[in-house]
Amino acid sequence: MAGSLKVGKYCMIDGASVINGHMEICDKVTITGMGMVMCLINESGIYSSGIPLQPNKIWRKTAALILSINEIAKRLKILEFKIFGKDN
């Protein structure tokens, strides 16, 4: 946990988690094991992350893909509709 961290009430941060500096976590948040907090959390709930260890070059590509996976899924759905003419 880096400096200037503010953690709300009733939070649970499981083992091996990493929290960047100057972060804020609101009340009633659970961060599961190996969670990596890179931006503020302003909604209560359970948050998870962590992927198996990989060589850094591969991990960087994986991380970039994960960040854009929802957009990729939307684009795929549009393409499937154009090809097959129905929702799958």
38-86 confidence digits (pLDDT tens): 889 999 999 998 777 788 899 899 889 999 999 999 999 999 999 998 7
DSSP the chain: --SS-EE-TT-EE-TT-EE-TT-EE-SSEEE-TT-EE-S-B-S-EEE--------HHHHHHHHHHHHTHHHHHHHHHHHHHHHHSS--
Nearest to 63 by CA among 49, 74, 77: 49
Q: Are residues 1 and 42 in the same domain?
A: yes
Q: What's the domain range around 28?
A: 1-50
2-50 confidence digits (pLDDT tens): 889 999 999 999 999 999 999 999 999 999 999 999 889 999 999 998 7
Q: Are residues 5 and 46 in the same domain?
A: yes
Q: Are residues 59 and 18 in the same domain?
A: no
Q: What is the pLDDT of residue 74?
A: 96
**Tokens in use for 33?**
């094991």
